[in-house]
Amino acid sequence: MAGILLSCSCDGSTAPGIAHNWPSIAAGAGFSCGLTQEGTAYCWGANNVGSLGTGVDSSTRSPARVAAQTSFALLSPGGHTCGVTTSGVPYCWGRNPFGELGDGTDSNRLAPVAVSTTRRFSTISAGDLHSCALATDGTAFCWGRNDIGQLGVSSDTFQLLVPAAVYGTTKYRSISAGESYTCAAATDGDGWCWGYNGGGQLGDSLYFFVRFPVLVEGGLKFESISTGTDHTCGVTTVGAAYCWGVGTAGELGNDTLGVFLIPQAVRGGHVFAFVGSGERFSCGLTTDGVALCWGDGPSGELGNLSTSRSFVPLPVTGNLRFSSLSVGKDHSCAVATDGQAYCWGANATGQLGNGTTMFSFVPVPVGAPLE
């Protein structure tokens, strides 16, 4: 087990103090964000060119308030951060070399800026260098880097600085922007993906990359799909989990290693409410609130007191029951049924939010916000 550092102010952060309830929490690439009951946004961890949205470029090991005078309904941290307000207005902040913030520029932003659109969005997803969102009518929009089709606009335009509609007339109920590709679940349950497919992450065996949505093979009906670095996982409408793409560390959960071009059933017979894809691991939340992880866990990503790989889902330590779960690049966060937020895994930049930089093999409570 990793040692626990109770207090350190080496980078100007304070110890987290008492634990805090976070109704919503999300894990990104080296940082995390959470929402209070009132919709106030806080972020913590790495602050590369403004990922935390605090108005300054300093990192923090404890939750710091995002510099926005608005209430958010959801947040999506990736390589940058995006969110949707309670009235459906999209904002993004952080690095922006390819227009992934959607404000019509390629300038980095230390604080939230409105995405350049008149549409109202129901959800949003920040990928590595691009972003995607769903309008309230289910139409998909993407913006940012498009060198290998990750925007799905059927164009070879290298980048788009403002949202553009994804090609086709399909309406979607969930969307997830990954490292260099995107996947979405349609309102009829069909899975669609577009962008880079060098590791089979699109679930399509024909293309190396594609600039328009292609159907995920296998005839499955999905409730949601989650993209990672080079593997993808989804939950069907009956709660079965499937993963596909690069599975060389066990991240597909199919009890074997390899690269799989079409969806593979996750072993164990669990009924899932959600499954998320990280860099070389995956985690899922069952319908009865149990968190399970599988794949590679050198920094505690599996949350099970071990750094060993697992090719099948294993329970996260602690006998906790969770109401929501979010999987980042190399850490995860979840909200317990009592409202307390926990994170586990890598913590070199303070992304666990407990005032330390010690990675954790088990869930640790996220601390109270900095005032």
Please give the pLDDT value at position 148.
97
- Candidates 310, 303, 313, 271; CA nearest to 289 is 271
Residue linked to tokens 């750094």: 307
Closest CA to 262 of 252, 249, 272: 252
Q: Which residues pair with 135 in a beta bridge?
A: 121
Would the pTM of this model clear 0.85, i.e. be above it?
A: yes
Residue 19 — very low, low, confident or very high, per pLDDT cuts 50/70/90?
Answer: low
- Look up tokens 């560390």; give the residue: 249
Q: What is the mean pLDDT of the chain?
A: 94
Q: Looking at per-residue confidence, does 16 or 168 come out higher?
A: 168
pLDDT score of 48: 82
How many CA atoms, within 13 angstroms, populate the side-chain half-sphere of residue 157?
Answer: 16
pLDDT of 10 reads: 27
Residue with tokens 């009906």: 221
The pLDDT of residue 33 is above 60? yes
- Is the CB of residue 331 less than 8 Å from the CB of residue 346? yes
Q: Running DSSP on this structure, what letter comes out for residue 70? A: S
Q: If we measure between CA atoms, which residue out of 337, 327, 333, 301 comes closest to residue 125? A: 327
The pLDDT score that the predictor gives to residue 308 is 94
Give the pairing of strands 310-315 and 90-94.
unpaired
Q: At 32, which amino acid appears? A: S
Domains of the chain in sequence order: 24-365 (2.130.10.30)
Residue 63: how many CB atoms within 10 A of its CB?
Answer: 28
Which percentage of the chain shows pLDDT scores above 90? 92
Whether the predicted pLDDT of 231 surpasses 90: yes
* β-strands 341-345, 222-227 pairing: unpaired
What pLDDT shows up at residue 370?
A: 77
Q: Tell me, letter by letter, the H, E, C secondary structure of 97-162.
A: CCCCCCCCCCCCEEEEEECCCCCCEEEEEECCCEEEEEECCCCEEEEEECCCCCCCCCCCCCEEEE
Average pLDDT estimate for 73-85: 98
Q: Is the pLDDT of residue 104 over 80?
A: yes
306 — pLDDT class (breaks 50, 70, 90):
very high
- Check if the beta carbon of residue 336 is closer than 8 Å to that of residue 313: no
DSSP state of 80: S
Model confidence at 67: pLDDT above 70:
yes
Q: Confidence band (pLDDT; 50, 70, 90) for 136?
A: very high
The pLDDT assigned to 6 comes to 24
Residue 112 above 90 pLDDT?
A: yes
pLDDT at 25: 96
Short-list 149, 112, 148, 143, CA closest to 130: 143
Q: What is the pLDDT of residue 17?
A: 45
Average of pLDDT values for 184-194? 98
Does 7 score more than 90 pLDDT?
no
* Cα separations in angstroms, 59 against 32, 54, 70, 128, 170: 12, 9, 22, 19, 40
Confidence category of residue 14, pLDDT binned at 50, 70, 90: very low
Pairwise CA distance, residues 365 & 348, whole Å: 17
Task: Compute, in degrees rounded to 10, the torsion defined by CA atoms 126, 307, 295, 6.
Answer: -30
Judged against a pLDDT cut of 90, whether residue 13 lies above it is answered with no
User: What's the pLDDT band for 11 if we cut at 50, 70, 90?
Assistant: very low
Give me the pLDDT at residue 21, please. 81
Tell me the pLDDT band of 20, cut-offs 50, 70 and 90.
confident
Question: pLDDT of 250-287, one tens digit each?
Answer: 999 999 999 999 999 999 999 999 999 999 999 999 99
Read off the pLDDT of residues 313-348 as tens digits, 9 standing for 90 and up.
999 999 999 999 999 999 999 999 999 999 999 999
- Label residue 18 by pLDDT band (50, 70, 90): low
